[in-house]
Structure 1
Amino acid sequence: MPHSPDASPDKASLRAIALARRAALDAPTRAAAAEAAADHAMAWLGEVAGEIVSVFSPIGQEIATEPLIRRLRAAGAQIALPVVLAPGKPLIFRLWEPGVELVATAGPGRMRIPAPPESAPAVAPDVLIVPLAGFDARGHRLGYGAGFYDRTLALLRRAKRIEAIGYAFAVQQLPDVPDEPHDERLDAVATDAGIIRVVAED
C-alpha cells in the first residue's frame, strides 16, 4: 500500500542523503564494492546463458558496472544498454557487442548517457539492472526524478516476465522510500553487502 508523503521525508531530501553517502566513498572502496556487487548479482541471477541483460552505463559517481558486464558476458549473456528516446517516454534497449564504441546520447535533464549506436538492434531484455539514487528493503527505489524506469518497467511487465535488479552501493540504502501508485518495485537489489530479496506486499 502506498505510503503517505507526510509519513516520511520527501524524495528530494532522501535522494540528497543517499547521494551524499555515495559521494563520500573513496576510489579503492568503490572499486572493491563494484567487484563484490557483481559477484552478488551473478549469484542471484544464476544461469544467464542466452538471456538478454540490460545493464547501465554509470554516470558520475554511480557504481561501476564493468565488473558485472564482464561476468555476464563470460556466462553467455547478451548485453543491452538503455536508450532515452524522449522525455516522458519509456526507454528502449539496444544490444551492445564487444568492441562496439558507445556514443553520447541525451539523458535526463542535461545528462549525456553512453549508449550503443542507432545501428545496434533494439531488443526486449529478460533482466534489467537498474541504476538508482537510493532504495529501501521493500524494493522501492529513488531515481533521478525523470521516471524513465517506472514507465519502462510498467510497459515491459505487461508483455512478459521481467526481472528488475537494483544495483548500487550498500550505503545508498534508506530506511523507507515513499512510494506512489505509478512506482514500479524492484525484484531485488544487489549491493556490495549482498542481495536484498524483495518480499511481495499485500
Structure 2
Amino acid sequence: MRPLTDAQLDKASLRTVALARRAALDLPAREGAAERAAAHAMAWLGEVKGEVVSVFAPIGGEIATDPLIQRLRAAGADVALPVVLEAGKPLLFRLWEPGEELVPSIGPGRFSIPAPPETAPAVSPDVLVVPLAAFDARGNRLGYGAGFYDRTLCLLRRAKRVEALGYAFAVQELDAVPAEPHDERLDAIATDAGLICPAED
C-alpha cells in the first residue's frame, strides 16, 4: 500500500471538520437550507428547459435535493441521477422520474448510492449538480475520497461543455481546500447562504 501524501492527509482532516459542521445541523435548519439553496441554484442555472441536469440522491447527511428537483422539472429540465458502475470508473447517468423506485449502487465507504434502475435511459448531462464534503471560494471541492466526480468531469469536459455546480450547506465552506492535479474545479457552488462563483485564474 502506498503511503498517503501530505495533501491526502490534509484533505482527510479538513473533510472531518466540514462533515462535523454538517452533522451538527438540526432538521428545521436543514429543511430551510435546502429550500434556499435550491432557489440560489436555479438563479445560477437560468434557462434549463430541454437540458439534462444530473442531481444526486442525498446520503449520509447531505443537503436534500428534492426542492431543487421540483424546480428543475417545473422549468422543463430532464433530471438524471448518477450510477456507480464500479470503483475507479467514471459515473454513468440515467434519467429519473420522481416516484420511480431507486436501487442501490456501490458508493464510497460503507454507503450505497440510490440510483435509477438499469431500464432507465442512459444520458450525457449538460449540468452536474455535485455533492461534496467541503469546498472553498475558489471552486475547489472535497468529496469522499473515491474520485468518482473528478474522473467523470474530466471525461465529460473533454467531450463537450459541461457545467459543475457544487451543492451543499454553507457551513461546509472552508478557507482553503488543497487542490491536486487530478481535481476538477466547480464552476459555482450553491448553498443556503447564496452563490459562490469562483473567479477565473
- TM-score normalised per structure 1: 0.94
- Asked if 1:81 is matched to 2:77, the reply is no
Question: Which stretch shows the higher mean deviation, 71-80 or 100-109?
Answer: 100-109
Q: How many Å apart are 1:143 and its aligned residue?
A: 0.3
- Asked if 1:139 is matched to 2:150, the reply is no
State how far apart, in whole Å, the 2-side matches of 1:139 and 1:119 are: 35
Q: How many Å apart are 1:6 and its aligned residue?
A: 6.1
Which residue identity is paired with 1:55?
V
Instruction: List gaps (5 residues or longer) in structure 1.
Output: none
Instruction: List gaps (5 residues or longer) in structure 2.
Output: none
Check the 8 A contact 2:85/2:105 in 1, yes or no: no
Alignment partner, residue 31 of structure 1: 31
Q: Which digits, 9 at most, give the CA deviation of each residue in 1:101-145, with x for residues without a partner? A: 111121123311110000001000000000000000010000000
- Asked if 1:104 is matched to 2:104, the reply is yes
Cα RMSD for the two superposed structures: 1.5
State how far apart, in whole Å, the 2-side matches of 1:25 and 1:98 are: 26
Which residue identity is paired with 1:92?
L
Q: Matches of residues 36-75 of structure 1 in structure 2 within 5 Å?
A: 36-75=36-75
Q: How many Å apart are 1:65 and its aligned residue?
A: 0.3
Alignment partner, residue 20 of structure 1: 20
Q: Which digits, 9 at most, give the CA deviation of each residue in 1:14-53, with x for residues without a partner? A: 0000000000101000000000000000001000000000
Instruction: Give the percent of matched residue pairs that are identical in Structure 1 and Structure 2.
Output: 77
Q: Matches of residues 53-202 of structure 1 in structure 2 within 5 Å?
A: 53-201=53-201
Structure 1 moving runs of 4+ over 2 Å? none
State how far apart, in whole Å, the 2-side matches of 1:21 and 1:65 are: 19
State how far apart, in whole Å, the 1-side matches of 2:116 and 2:195 are: 29
